[in-house]
Structure 1
Amino acid sequence: MQAFPVVELVSLIGLLVLSGFFSGSETALMTLNRYRLRHKADQGHRGAILARRLLDRPDRLIGLILLGNNFVNILASSLATVIALELGGEGAIAIAAGLLTLVILIFSEVTPKTLAALHPELIAYPAAYIYTPLLKLMQPVVWGVNLITNNLLRVLGIRPETEQGNALSREELRTVVNEAGAMIPERSRDMLLAILDLENATVEDIMIPRNEVEGIDLQDAEEDIVAAIKRTSYTRLPLFDGGIDNVVGIFHTRSAADVLMQRDQIKDHLRSVASKPYYVPEATRLYPQLINFQRTRQRVGLVVDEYGDFQGLITLADLLEEIVGEFTTDPADAYPEIHRADDGCLLIDCAISIRELNRAMRWNLPTRGPKTLNGLILDYLETIPQTGTSLMLCGHPLEIIQTDDTTVKTVRCQTQPA
């Protein structure tokens, strides 16, 4: 009677375990969160440090893993053939091959890889202790294999040593922040997303347009100048000389008391205390402008177009509001262009900018193109609508309440803000 091949069977089981280790550890190391890995490595976690070093050259790591995995799988196949011949002769070889394929698939591939994908750190860090000395031991073989494969990749125009695949794009960062869930409070998420959006907008998108800029004209009567200073709610006012296109300085209202005491020399004193105008090109993106405000210690910028014509005014407060938002949850309280009607609906002044409306109502109206709600409605309808016209603007029902010959003045919003 032929003895049962116990030694061969135990060896086969050992090879399958090794195959599962190679498969699972490969998945674990490749699915590690690179930023969590870097954080743990910086904190001195030994397994994370070793794993990070291994992943610095993934071609070497993959070469080592596949070398070991293929070796044990081929050896397991040969051993299964020997066991089949001893137990059932040549007719059992096909049965052994089928059974081995099923066993490898379940116990050496799917199960360890699924476990590794769900808990990569549980497997990757201990595996790094094994792969580090094994890579040194197998360095000549791995080097030879990588030499051939890297040259093949260079033929395809890929240089493995210079490829950087861990940097996230702005949109990928937005996805990471949005999916952070409870780890980042909603308020903080909104601020982080707003910071990312600073690169997508220009000062033209958030500036106060020239027709809404409040200032002091030195050509006005002194009584009118005094009244303008007393009634203003702003801390800084542009100083004009003969019209809004001739800005001669920025007047800080902290000097108002001194100015009002000058009696017959108010205009001259206004010129003397006014600071030099600070000009900003209308195409400047918001993040560089925020840095420019900080660098120049300015709080107000006069926005000009490519011809140097005055287009509007931007303040540091406007920029900060793009990040932190308004300090209220009710858009009817936060924005003077939005009013709550008696029936609970919102009446919106169509001069409001699209960005402000999106922020107030948590909408997603397009910001490329028209800058105001009036412009967006006219662009959508391609005509000056009549009062009472209703439209669905990007999924939001609006009713036009007031128009004139050239613009839409007011609309009613039939839905509440999100």
Structure 2
Amino acid sequence: MDTIPLWAQLLALALLILCSAFFAMAETALMAANRHKLRHLAKNGNQRAITTLWLLERTDKLLLLVLIANILLNALIAALLTSMAISAFGHEESVIFLTAAAIAFLLIVFAEIPPKVIGATHPEKISLLSSLLIKPLMRLGKPAIWFVNLFVSRLLLLLRIKPGAQASELPRLSPEELRSIVLEGGNFIPQKHKSILLNLFDLETISVDDIMTPRAQIEALNLAAPAADIKQQLATCYHNKLPVYEGEINRIVGILHVRKALALLNTEEFSAAHIRPLLSTPYYIPPDTGLFAQLQYFQEKRERLGIIVDEYGEVQGLVTLEDIIEEMIGEFTTSTPGGNEAFSWNAQRSCQLEGGVALREVNKRLDLHLPLDGPKTLNGLLLEILQEIPDHPVAVRIDDCVFEIVQAQHQAIKTVKLISLNKH
């Protein structure tokens, strides 16, 4: 080494450290790279992404190459630095000890921690660049990889580990993991799209009775009513399809498409008998049907409206295809008579609601956490807590919110004032 100039030795040392840092950074980047993103780039013809995926499909050989290269480079760095130290300071034990400490410091600071941090911070960018160099090196180092792998594979076989058995497959993600990916999408996913995706995940956990129009708010046509009243309701009804019953709501005889009945309004001898031929068969739904399943049923049966009935055949409510779509993408229709208008906290952090409003809607709009595993409406929740219908103003506190009952009528709570104790 005495014949080699000092500057050449320092240059060789710097190059060895640089190469070691490259392999450490490339290994971290390749292992941390998002394979979904690489698949997308590869499908669009990105050659670097194709090369990177080719390497990741041979993870065992890739890791062997990186480890062999790193160990050889680190050994050369240690030998070169030790030789330089002995040439300069002699064979003293303290020189050997201090040289070993210097080697560890150089490798940790310049060849390990910073390269791996950089590789983990920009995995896709670095893996796409480094793969172009690592692939030829893998081919050149094939004999060494084969020789080392001969022993490694036998050891893994004893441990009953099969490397690369699922390397070519995308990792399977649970719904919770997919939800986390969407939530952490940041600026890559527009807020509206993110909201729709999250709502789609919720469809599996929501049933039709969570979003139904309650029985008391159903707009329906009573064939037992006077003919003049029926004509008046047809002329002023809000919906395009109406459930039609006879006498009381549990005796539904069909579904009327209002447009088909408009011509009857000019008939002088109009009666309920004119409507019966226009009715279609009602479609009934159990209340615990999942929302996603019901969406599929609507599609298969070519229906847009279903009547929700309990185990005794009692009508509980009504759900439409539009209700499910709104649950996915947000409200897009106008408010209906008897329905709940849009609501939110006012400047005093209070809000007045109808008792029939759905608890899910209250939680969503007011950012509350009311329990959803029991009653579905605000009226039902308060009656469950009070265990009686109040005949005078009363208030109930749930978490950081006070529910003040303003009006109770006809065996139900009609109006409730919410007051938030959290003023922020």
1:161 to 154, 161, 165: 165
Partner in structure 2 of residue 35 of structure 1: 36
- Could you tell me the TM-score, scaled by structure 1's length? 0.84
Kept in 2: contact 1:325–1:359 (CA 8 A): no
Q: Which amino acid aligns with 2:150?
A: G
Gaps of 5+ in 2: none
Deviates more, 1:376-385 or 1:21-30: 376-385
Matched, 1:361 2:331: no
Query: Aligned equivalents of 1:53 and 1:388: distance in 2?
Result: 71
Q: Which amino acid aligns with 2:78?
A: S
Secondary structure, in 3 states, of the residue corresponding to 1:246?
Answer: strand
Distance 1:203 1:374 in 2: 18
Q: Does 1:224 align with 2:229?
A: yes
The offset of 1:181, in angstroms, is 3.5
5 Å matches for 1:330-341?
Answer: 335-336=340-341
Which residue identity lines up with residue 227 of structure 1 in the other structure?
Q
How much does 1:313 deviate? 0.9
- Residue 102 of structure 2 corresponds to residue 99 of structure 1: yes
Q: Which segment is superposed worse, 377-386 or 121-130?
A: 377-386
Q: Which amino acid aligns with 1:41?
A: A
Q: Which moved more, 1:395-404 or 1:369-378?
A: 395-404
Alignment partner of 1:151 is 2:136: no
Q: 1:417 to 1:303 in 2, by over 3 A?
A: farther
Give 1:102-141 correspondences, 5 Å limit.
Answer: 102-136=105-139, 137-138=141-142, 139-141=145-147
Q: Which residue is equivalent to 1:302?
A: 307
Match of 1:89 in 2: 91
Correspondence for 2:285: 280
- Give the deviation of 1:98 after TM superposition: 0.6
Deviations 1:59-92 (A, max 9, x none): 3332332232233223433444444444421512
Q: Alignment partner of 1:117: what SS?
A: helix
Structure 2 residue 191 is the aligned partner of structure 1 residue 189: no
Aligned match for 1:269, one of 271, 274, 283: 274
Please tell me the residue identity of whatever aligns with 2:211. I
Structure 1, gaps ≥5 residues long: none
Aligned partners of 1:282 and 1:305 also within 8 Å:
yes
Residue in structure 2 matched with residue 20 of structure 1 by the alignment: 21
Cα distance in 2 between the residues matched to 1:16 and 1:50 = 26
CA shift at 1:375, angstroms? 2.8
The Cα shift of 1:306 comes to: 4.8
Q: What's 2:68 paired with?
A: 67
| Distance of 1:31 and 1:251 partners within structure 2 | 59
Aligned to 2:260: 255
Q: CA 1:295 to 1:75, structure 2 compared with 1: closer, same or farther past 3 Å?
A: same
Query: Of 322, 338, 355, which aligns to 1:350?
Result: 355
What is the alpha-carbon distance in structure 2 between the residues aligned to residue 78 and residue 340 of structure 1? 72
Q: Please say if residues 391 and 399 of structure 1, whose CA atoms lie closer than 8 Å, have aligned partners that are also in contact.
A: yes
The answer on whether the counterparts of 2:227 and 2:270 sit within 8 Å (CA) in structure 1 is no
Contact 1:150 1:160 in 2 (8 A): no
1:154 is matched by which residue type in structure 2?
Answer: R
Mapped contact 1:327–1:334 kept (Cα < 8 A)? no
In structure 2, the CA distance between the partners of 1:334 and 1:220, relative to structure 1 (3 Å rule), is: closer
User: Would the alpha carbon gap of residues 323 and 11 (structure 1) be closer, same or farther in structure 2, given more than 3 Å must change?
Assistant: same
State the alpha-carbon separation in 2 of the partners of residues 147 and 286 from structure 1. 50
Paired-residue identity, %: 36
CA distance in 2, matches of 1:153, 1:387: 74
Q: How far off is 1:263 after superposition?
A: 5.1
